Structure 1
Amino acid sequence: MKLSFEEEIKRRRTFGIVSHPDAGKTTLTEKLLLFGGAIQEAGAVKSNKIKKGATSDFMEIERQRGISVATSVLAFEYKNIKINILDTPGHKDFAEDTFRTLTAVDSVIVVIDVAKGVEEQTEKLVSVCRMRKIPMIVFINKMDREGKDAFDLLDEVEQKLGLRVTPLSFPIGMGYDFKGIYNIWEKNINLFSDESSKNILDTTEIEDLESEQLDQLVGEKSANTLREEIELTSGIYPEFNKEEYQNGDLQPVFFGSALNNFGVRELLDCFVDIAPMPRPKESDVREVFPTEKKFTGFVFKIHANMDPKHRDRLAFIKIVSGTFERNTPYLHTRLGKKLKFSSPNAFFAEKKEIVDISFPGDIVGLHDTGNFKIGDTLTAGEQMNYKGIPSFSPEHFRYINNADPMKSKQLAKGIDQLMDEGVAQLFTLDLNGRKVIGTVGALQYEVIQYRLEHEYGAKCSYENLNVHKACWIQAEDEKSEEFKEFKRVKSKFLAKDKRDQLVFLADSHFSLQMTQDKYKGLKFHFTSEFDN
């Protein structure tokens, strides 16, 4: 049965999963795919002591280090709802990728480790979600391990993250005494068992917590504790209200153990009921609504070499309005030219498939030969740009040297493509043409070195460079004496970025301050996205 355009939009849910590293985000992503029937077995299954890499960790270096460094896009169907998950890197060195991904989601699931509670990276990411009023659901993970008391955790989430929470499920015990979960949303009990291969016993409907059935299920002591705790939660926490959640004013909380598949189905069932469908987005000319018939979308990520055998780059596009159709010309607003795409990809767990038509909320991967940059907008013809896709000033700087003179072409191409991907930024010194790579986190240098060697066959080495900050320089009048003097005095600190914009590489906070005070007619920008 063919659904109408409006019905297709209504059945889409696009969300990101964010957390501190090691809170179990990638495991949760897998288990959601497992419940959606998109994968047959989880990657964490230890077969013959060889740990399979998690499904969503695409790149080899991620498998080796056990961290996600690139955002993966995974889609599956559940109860006739089309779900698009964007799994983000938790590691702080890759926060830039996560911030960009948050521009493409309609809601977020925040994963918190029961033992560690709220950690630094989670605080940063949640503050971005709060600022953008993105609806959030909190999942407290690893309940089968010893950790903090449920009420202490809820307090911590409220205080540290500035959220207003309401639990929609509640744990019965924890760690060694973990018996299961009372699902407040559906009024039933799920019992936990280590032994069973699925780790899930039958769900038992419990309309009335006072019934003796509860004592029989979990024992008298646990039953009484649960009764008290549930009474307490209904006294302390607000009742769940879907509208408040969708406006970003109330955050439901679930408890579970992703590794043991426990509490994940409850989270998913509630998510498909309450999570928002695709939302409108602000552009530089107007607000755009998903139900508009004309296509618009934007690039929030570029990934080179999704398949190392083929040198392919994919630009990931979030569709904001209208339908995106194969072989239809669309306007690339920055370049002012029309492009058409013969094989747009959708992602279904590990597989990519070519799609003929995609709807608002969907993420499409377009094969790119170098036309796209992060933040580019595609439309059916309207001249507009989507706003708010950040590019940060790097905090680490190193010279990059070619370690194999026979491979200088491969090195140049590799650097060029990785920079377009937003992994790091490249600066060329005016003085001697030496190449400098600036990154937000130090771990990116390893990733770049690894990928240059394994994907482009080029070797590089690094040398330290004492730079405190990169600033993009803008002069009111490029012919002014002041600008000429600045360029002469600071010549050894000047470089060009990939777009040929002038960059000042200040060697200390003090010298940056002095330079800004001295050259009042110049503007110093700390991100590369400013209006020329």
Structure 2
Amino acid sequence: MPRQTPLNRTRNIGIMAHIDAGKTTTTERILFYTGRTYKIGEVHEGTATMDWMEQEQERGITITSAATTCFWRDVRVNIIDTPGHVDFTAEVERSLRVLDGAVAVFDSVAGVEPQSETVWRQADKYRVPRICFVNKMDRIGADFKRTFEQITTKLGGNPVALQLPIGAEDKFVGVVDLVAMKAIRYKDETMGAEYVVDEIPADMLEEAKAYREQLIEKVSEADDKLLEKYLHGEEISDEEIKAALRKRVNTSVHTRGDKAEAAFVPVICGSAFKNKGVQPLLDAIVDYLPSPVDVPAIVGFDPDKGPDVLVERPASDDAPFSALAFKIMTDPFVGQLTFIRVYSGVMAAGTTVYNSTKQKSERLGRLLQMHANKREEIKEVYAGDIAAAVGLKTVTTGDTICDEKKPVVLESMDFPEPVISLAIEPKTKVDQEKLGQGLGKLMAEDPTFRVKTDIQTGEVVIAGMGELHLEIIVDRLKREFNVEASVGRPQVAYKETLTRPADGEMKYAKQTGGRGQYGHAKIHLFPGEPGSGYVFENKISGGTIPREFIKPIDEGIKEALTRGVLAGYPVDDVRIELYDGSYHDVDSSEMAFKIAGSMAFQDAAKKAKPVLLEPVMRVEVVVPKDYMGDVMGNLSSRRGQIQSQEDRGGTQIINARVPLSEMFGYATDLRSRTQGRATYSMHFDRYEPAPGHVSDEVVARMQGKA
């Protein structure tokens, strides 16, 4: 079947924001106005289409990125609704990796909030062009201009106002369109589906003219022809403004570094809940965000020739097939669903595809077009499509699938390490069998979720990005896999690092009557830069250790890193130079050198002054003035460092950095201190050396377990 929608009339977009800014509600309104749903789902009623998991509907938050397709002005819009809660960073990361554009939704009362900053940085990393929707203009304390300024001051964006609100709070009735210089007023009686285009109110005319002038100045700077017109006082048409805006919104995808920051970010406003501003938002998506042909060809490497041989795949049906798997989901009816973004070429259901990441071929079953958790079977996928594939068994998140004759490995995704863990114990023997299965499937779906068995205690330990993340996992085990389990208290995922250079040596020699074991390794150990991870360098010269024994030494050191030096936590940020050693013609083996490498590392590590690292969180507390002193004092008592405080409409915003170990139970404590009037959010900032007394306590506890 031929392609239904031209590639230049396709938009792959994400909707991103802080929790509670109104992302899911905005998506629901988009689906309603584009005719995809007949009844608007409300988040607070637990009926929103995009929040389809039971936990999402109960909690009123989005956990997994649901995908859906709709049409506006004959343009196909593929939407991914991403979670705003910091525990689900991986969902945001993988969504942004496969999108061409994004809509950032802000709460006009709260302005730019911490998770908005995190998501914005993630979008910067993938150079995703975006537009901003300042939502909740009908709420008490709504302030469009403050939010507009914060896009520059807090996010480093380059905002361009395309609208001004007419009224605010309960008097918000519509917007002034600064491109067309008209007022748009929404009819309450038709739920905002109908609106009237009118003249700009007299009391707003001067302000609208000033903002329009700023808009024309900005677009003129971006286009030489328009600049000439502007300087000569000639009229610039609406179409010319839109074309210049579109060009400049999309500069970020074509440039790297400082230039990328100059990309325009169009800003519009409305109230999704009150159905005001949704149609202009759809127009802005179509007018300003890129199609797959507007972004540069995706670049990968040729797996047959190595990572240095780069390969381009243009967004075209005629190019060899290539797609990235960005999400795995277990479906009760069809089994494993693999969500893919097709970058080039065409693929039909039932054909064989090549997983170039794992170098394995497998047969593709059915292809599905997803609408949240409803599905529609399709025969083929084309360049630019987002779809779900059934039957791919070896494919995991971040893998490339492609044409075996023209292989390519596309850039994958980076996911943060878990910061919190807890022990989980099945209640019965039947639960024990189901637990392993359930955890395996959940781990395949979520790259930030890890499972391991504690060597000392034999307990199964699950690790993730926060308390809510693990709570949802335990909940899903019960609902989806019928596993009843008891969980322990949350534990902090500490790390260890080394603070000074040291040398290590191990000669592992064993005679057992027959063939012996012999391996001898000498290493230099150096502390690495924070975030550098583990680096191994082979400096052997003159063949003192044969090539086939170098890898086992590296593997032995890697294993030793996971066991830790101080308290059994993994060692991070270390560089190892293997510089000397010896071997025996008969007795040397891979196992002997693996043991020698491991023990040489332990020898060096003990001399390298190991220290314990603890995860430190960025915490934002929104608190009424009356309780501020008490809340700040309590944060300080939790070893918190207050970074800043600001007044936001009579409410105080406290920003602090606090060790994660001190934040357990904080939600209950904050509620009781402020009679439920304060809220907080936190997300991972970085690892830092733990103070001596904390380190001693952790080490003593872990040695007590051994």
Q: Measure, in 2, the Cα distance between the counterparts of 1:275 and 1:60.
A: 32
* Residues 428-467 of structure 1 aligned to structure 2 (within 5 Å): 428-431=453-456, 433-464=458-489, 465-467=491-493
Deviation at 1:349, TM superposition (A): 5.3
Q: Which residue in the other structure is 1:287 paired with?
A: 312
Deviation at 1:466, TM superposition (A): 4.9
Q: Measure, in 2, the Cα distance between the counterparts of 1:364 and 1:82.
A: 13
Q: Is the 8 A contact 1:430 1:494 kept in 2?
A: no
Encode CA deviations 1:243-301: one digit per residue, 9 max, x unaligned: 11011300101111111221110110222122211133232333321125211001111
Encode CA deviations 1:350-384: one digit per residue, 9 max, x unaligned: 53011111122211111246422110110011333
Query: Which residue of 105, 109, 118 corresponds with 1:111?
Result: 105
Matched, 1:427 2:443: no
Q: Measure, in 1, the Cα distance between the counterparts of 2:114 and 2:412.
A: 23
Secondary structure of 1:176's aligned partner = helix
Which has the greater radius of gyration? 2
Q: Measure, in 2, the Cα distance between the counterparts of 1:150 and 1:480.
A: 56
Q: Is the 8 A contact 1:331 1:337 kept in 2?
A: yes
Encode CA deviations 1:62-98: one digit per residue, 9 max, x unaligned: 1111111100001112222111000001111101211
Secondary structure of 1:317's aligned partner = strand
Q: Which residue in the other structure is 1:530 paired with?
A: none
Q: Is the 8 A contact 1:395 1:469 kept in 2?
A: no
Q: Is the 8 A contact 1:18 1:25 kept in 2?
A: yes
Q: Measure, in 2, the Cα distance between the counterparts of 1:491 and 1:189.
A: 67
Query: Which residue of 9, 12, 15 corresponds with 1:11?
Result: 9
Q: TM-score, normalised by structure 2?
A: 0.63
Which of 228-237 and 373-382 deviates more?
Answer: 228-237
Specify every segment of 5 or more residues in structure 1 that has no aligned partner in the other structure, as ranges.
Answer: 207-213, 215-222, 496-501, 503-510, 520-532
Deviation at 1:404, TM superposition (A): 2.4
Q: Which residue in the other structure is 1:523 paired with?
A: none
Deviation at 1:385, TM superposition (A): 1.6
Matched, 1:87 2:107: no
Q: Which residue in the other structure is 2:22 paired with?
A: 24
* Residues 137-176 of structure 1 aligned to structure 2 (within 5 Å): 137-176=131-170
Q: Is the 8 A contact 2:33 2:193 kept in 1?
A: no
Matched, 1:199 2:207: no
1:2 and 1:356, CA in 2 relative to 1: closer, same or farther beyond 3 A? closer
Q: Measure, in 1, the Cα distance between the counterparts of 2:340 and 2:50.
A: 18
Matched, 1:321 2:344: yes
Q: Which residue in the other structure is 1:226 paired with?
A: 204
Deviation at 1:118, TM superposition (A): 0.5
Q: Measure, in 2, the Cα distance between the counterparts of 1:40 and 1:105.
A: 27
Encode CA deviations 1:410-457: one digit per residue, 9 max, x unaligned: 111000000011151122334454322111122111111111111111
Query: Which residue of 251, 259, 262 corresponds with 1:247?
Result: 251
Q: Which residue in the other structure is 1:99 paired with?
A: 93
Secondary structure of 1:74's aligned partner = strand
Q: Which residue in the other structure is 2:524 paired with?
A: none
Secondary structure of 2:206's aligned partner = helix
* Residues 255-334 of structure 1 aligned to structure 2 (within 5 Å): 255-278=269-292, 279=295, 280-284=297-301, 285-291=310-316, 292-305=318-331, 308=332, 310=333, 312-334=335-357
Deviation at 1:149, TM superposition (A): 3.4
Q: Measure, in 2, the Cα distance between the counterparts of 1:415 and 1:491.
A: 29
Deviation at 1:461, TM superposition (A): 2.2
Which of 20-29 and 403-412 deviates more?
Answer: 403-412
Q: Which residue in the other structure is 1:409 paired with?
A: 433
Deviation at 1:165, TM superposition (A): 1.1
Q: Which residue in the other structure is 1:493 paired with?
A: 568
Q: Is the 8 A contact 2:66 2:372 kept in 1?
A: no
Counting aligned pairs with the same residue, the percent is 27
Deviation at 1:137, TM superposition (A): 0.3
Q: Measure, in 2, the Cα distance between the counterparts of 1:25 and 1:453.
A: 28
Q: Measure, in 1, the Cα distance between the counterparts of 2:58 and 2:250.
A: 38
Q: Which residue in the other structure is 2:494 paired with?
A: 468
CA RMSD of aligned residues (A): 3.0
Q: Measure, in 2, the Cα distance between the counterparts of 1:398 and 1:444.
A: 11
Deviation at 1:38, TM superposition (A): 0.6
Query: Which residue of 332, 341, 356 corresponds with 2:364?
Result: 341
Deviation at 1:232, TM superposition (A): 2.3
Which of 240-249 and 449-458 deviates more?
Answer: 240-249
Secondary structure of 1:283's aligned partner = strand
Q: TM-score, normalised by structure 1?
A: 0.83
Matched, 1:132 2:131: no
Q: Is the 8 A contact 1:8 1:359 kept in 2?
A: no
Supply the AA of the counterpart residue of 1:303. Answer: M
Q: Measure, in 1, the Cα distance between the counterparts of 2:121 and 2:289.
A: 19
Supply the AA of the counterpart residue of 2:568. Answer: F
Supply the AA of the counterpart residue of 1:271. Answer: I
Deviation at 1:52, TM superposition (A): 4.3
Q: Measure, in 2, the Cα distance between the counterparts of 1:349 and 1:40.
A: 15
Q: Is the 8 A contact 2:191 2:275 kept in 1?
A: yes
1:45 and 1:108, CA in 2 relative to 1: closer, same or farther beyond 3 A? closer
With a CA cutoff of 8 Å and minimum separation of 6, indicate the structure with the bigger relative contact order: 1
Secondary structure of 1:286's aligned partner = strand
Deviation at 1:141, TM superposition (A): 0.5
Q: Which residue in the other structure is 1:506 paired with?
A: none
Deviation at 1:115, TM superposition (A): 0.5
Q: Which residue in the other structure is 1:387 paired with?
A: 411
Matched, 1:55 2:45: no
Q: Measure, in 2, the Cα distance between the counterparts of 1:396 and 1:186.
A: 52
1:89 and 1:202, CA in 2 relative to 1: closer, same or farther beyond 3 A? closer
Q: Measure, in 1, the Cα distance between the counterparts of 2:17 and 2:57.
A: 19
Q: Which residue in the other structure is 2:177 paired with?
A: 183
Q: Measure, in 1, the Cα distance between the counterparts of 2:65 and 2:352.
A: 27
Q: Measure, in 1, the Cα distance between the counterparts of 2:286 and 2:560.
A: 61
Q: Measure, in 1, the Cα distance between the counterparts of 2:492 and 2:31.
A: 46
Q: Is the 8 A contact 2:137 2:144 kept in 1?
A: no
Q: Is the 8 A contact 1:169 1:255 kept in 2?
A: yes
Q: Is the 8 A contact 1:346 1:352 kept in 2?
A: yes
1:492 and 1:304, CA in 2 relative to 1: closer, same or farther beyond 3 A? farther
Supply the AA of the counterpart residue of 1:261. Answer: N
Q: Measure, in 2, the Cα distance between the counterparts of 1:60 and 1:204.
A: 41
Q: Measure, in 1, the Cα distance between the counterparts of 2:554 and 2:169.
A: 69
Deviation at 1:102, TM superposition (A): 0.5
Q: Measure, in 2, the Cα distance between the counterparts of 1:14 and 1:451.
A: 29
1:361 and 1:487, CA in 2 relative to 1: closer, same or farther beyond 3 A? closer
